[in-house]
Amino acid sequence: MTSSYRINYQLRAHKRDPLIEFIKGLLLTPFILHAKPRKPVLNSPVGGGPDLPEERNDYQEEDKPMVDANLQRYLEIMKSVEVMIEEHRRKALKGVPEHSRLHRIVPSVASFFTPLPLEAAFLDANAKHSIAARRFVPPSFNDIRRILNTAQVMAIAPTINLITFDGDMTLYDDGTSFTDNSPLIPLLITLMRAGLRVAIVTAAGYPGDASKYEERLTGLLRSFGNQQLSEKLLERFYVLGGECNYLFRCGWKQTESGSAVVGLTYIEPEAYQPADMLAWKHEEIQELLDVAEENLKRNVAAMNLKAMILRKSRAVGIVPTNNGKIAREQLDECVLSTQQRLLEYQQMSGPSKIAIPFCVFNGGNDVFVDIGNKLIGVQVLQNYLGAAPDATIHVGDQFLSTGNDFATRSSCCTLWIVNPEETQDVLKELTPLLKFPAEE
């Protein structure tokens, strides 16, 4: 049985997405009001007569009219939300997004860089999952999340030229590496053949060390080499580590033995980072990380966590010891308290110091504070590669407010997945919609 504590915890703002909750609430109305119990059909019992009572049978009415009517009501709601999103986009272009009806209902709603064909996306989802036929389970959070993903794929396919991915739990399981037999490899190659620039934007930070990233991507890079992809094709693949701090380009490299392999080459910060990033001072970065480390140590002691502090040049975090597990609630406590502490620190620092951007996130079984964030990371790639927000999409699994993919919503379109299998599903939806250059 679900405890009341667990219910209350799930209802907290950092565990909910307001737009999805809004749509879910709208769809709940036809589910409750119109998915009515079947009308009883009256039958006489076998061998009965006029003096015997009639038997009620609730399982003989035809369901199809109810299903069709319910589908129509769901579609009307999705079309209404679609229209509200388009009005919000028009207001945003005029510089007054707060005047839209959607903003008044969902004040925290993010930017929309393309229209979202929600009606068509719902039809697609209903064909796969029979949502309108369900009588006991209403449209769920995951139903709506997947519908939004499908709508975004439909909308961006004609214009997309940059797609970025989180690493863990998006392209491969948490803490693992890309394997040679990953079903995502041919899909990523297809994206590159279609002319898209493909980038992995990950929190993993190894300053200037290509070998560490190559180790995580061994299977993918080996497959690139086995298929003898051209240098032109390989140059469409990038890795941006430490949220936004370390950029690498893919290409052919010579080994010490003289053989050619596919690997990553470090790009110096001056080549791609904007002036405001280059202005971040080393001593101020370390001072911010000192404050974060102090707060994380306090959390470890207060909650008696079996965890150790891990300090890097532009990050600090806690990781469990002896392959242990840290409870989700404890991880979120570390994230939220550290966010608050760092914001207080920056407010007290005065105007003489640059407010260095940072990201505090729950990694599933660890907590890290990184200098910069994926919003900056995506913007850096957009500027470096010449990609507009309405032609960029980020795929990740951490879109709650304690996750590090959340910030990207301000700079590009997004797809919210929960595991590599869902990444495969959305890419299978996207790739047939792409146009391929003549040379490919």
pLDDT tens for each residue of 362-372: 888 999 999 99
Does 352 lie in the same domain as 219?
no
Measured CA to CA, the distance from residue 156 to residue 116 in angstroms comes to 9
Q: Is the pLDDT of residue 291 over 50?
A: yes
Q: Is the pLDDT of residue 309 over 70?
A: yes
Q: Is 390 a catalytic residue?
A: no
Q: 3-12, 161-170, 232-241, 328-337: which range is least confident on average?
A: 3-12
pLDDT at position 363, please?
A: 85
Q: Is the pLDDT of residue 297 over 80?
A: yes
Residues 360, 232 contacting (CB under 8 angstroms): no
Measured CA to CA, the distance from residue 164 to residue 428 in angstroms comes to 16
Q: Total structural domains in the chain?
A: 3
For residue 379, is it within any domain? no
Does 229 lie in the same domain as 96?
no
CB atoms under 10 Å from CB of 83, counted, come to: 15
Q: Is 168 a catalytic residue?
A: yes
Closest alpha carbon to 240 in 262, 213, 220? 213
For residue 376, is it within any domain? no
Does 225 lie in the same domain as 294?
no
Q: Is the pLDDT of residue 61 over 60?
A: no
Percent of the chain with pLDDT over 90: 71
Q: Is the pLDDT of residue 121 over 70?
A: yes
Does 168 lie in the same domain as 150?
no
Q: Residue 350 maps to which CATH number?
A: 3.30.70
Does 141 lie in the same domain as 26?
yes
For residue 132, is it within any domain? yes
Does 416 lie in the same domain as 269?
yes
For residue 382, is it within any domain? no
pLDDT at position 159, please?
A: 95
Measured CA to CA, the distance from residue 430 to residue 188 in angstroms comes to 11
Q: Residue 220 maps to which CATH number?
A: 3.40.50.1000
For residue 378, is it within any domain? no
Residues 242, 372 contacting (CB under 8 angstroms): yes
- Name the domain boundary from 345, 371, 397: 371
- Name the domain boundary from 140, 156, 172: 156
Q: Please, which pLDDT band fits residue 65 given cuts at 50, 70 and 90?
A: low
Does 428 lie in the same domain as 348?
no
Q: Which residues, 6+ apart, have CB-to-CB distance to 275 below 8 Å?
A: none
Q: Which residues, 6+ apart, have CB-to-CB distance to 160 below 8 Å?
A: 196, 391, 392, 393, 430, 434
Does 133 lie in the same domain as 17?
yes
CB atoms under 10 Å from CB of 432, counted, come to: 8
Q: Please, which pLDDT band fits residue 45 given cuts at 50, 70 and 90?
A: low
**17, 124, 143, 166: which is the annotated catalytic residue?**
166
**63, 68, 124, 168: which is the annotated catalytic residue?**
168
Does 286 lie in the same domain as 247?
no
Q: 81-90, 305-314, 394-403: which range is least confident on average?
A: 394-403
For residue 252, is it within any domain? yes
* Better pLDDT: 418 or 45: 418
* b/e code 350-383 from CB counts within 10 Å (16+ = b): eeeeeebbbbbbbbbbbbbbbbbbbbbbbbbbbe
Residues 91, 100 contacting (CB under 8 angstroms): yes
pLDDT at position 4, please?
A: 41
Q: 34-43, 70-79, 155-164: which range is least confident on average?
A: 34-43
Q: 57-66, 71-80, 105-114, 184-193: which range is least confident on average?
A: 57-66
CB atoms under 10 Å from CB of 173, counted, come to: 12
The boundaries of the domain holding residue 396 are 162-273+387-433
pLDDT at position 32, please?
A: 84
For residue 166, is it within any domain? yes
Q: Is the pLDDT of residue 406 over 90?
A: no
Q: Is the pLDDT of residue 38 over 60?
A: no
Q: Please, which pLDDT band fits residue 64 given cuts at 50, 70 and 90?
A: low
Taken as a whole, the chain contains a residue count of 440
- For the chain, the three-class secondary structure string (H helix, E strand, C coil) is CCCHHHHHHHCCHHHCCHHHHHHHHHHHHHHHHHCCCCCCEEECCCCCCCCCCCEEECCCCCCHHHHHHHHHHHHHHHHHHHHHHHHHHHHHHCCCHHHCHHHHHCCCCCCCCCCCCHHHHHHHHHHHHCHHHCCCCCCCHHHHHHHHHHHHHHHHCCCCCEEEECCECCCECCCCCCCCCCCHHHHHHHHHHCCCEEEEECCCCCCCCHHHHHHHCHHHHHHHHHCCCCHHHHCCEEEEECCCCEEEEEEEEECCCCCEEEEEEEECHHHCCCHHHHCCCHHHHHHHHHHHHHHHHHHHHHCCCCEEEEEECCEEEEEECCCCCCCHHHHHHHHHHHHHHHHHHHHHCCCCCCCCCEEEEECCCCEEEEECCHHHHHHHHHHHHCCCHHHEEEEECCCCCCCCCHHHHHCCEEEECCCHHHHHHHHHHHHHHCCCCCCC
Does 135 lie in the same domain as 79?
yes
pLDDT tens by residue, 195-225? 999 999 998 888 888 999 999 999 999 999 9
Does 110 lie in the same domain as 253?
no
- Name the domain boundary from 135, 156, 177: 156
Measured CA to CA, the distance from residue 78 to residue 84 in angstroms comes to 10
Does 12 lie in the same domain as 135?
yes
Q: Please, which pLDDT band fits residue 404 given cuts at 50, 70 and 90?
A: confident
For residue 380, is it within any domain? no
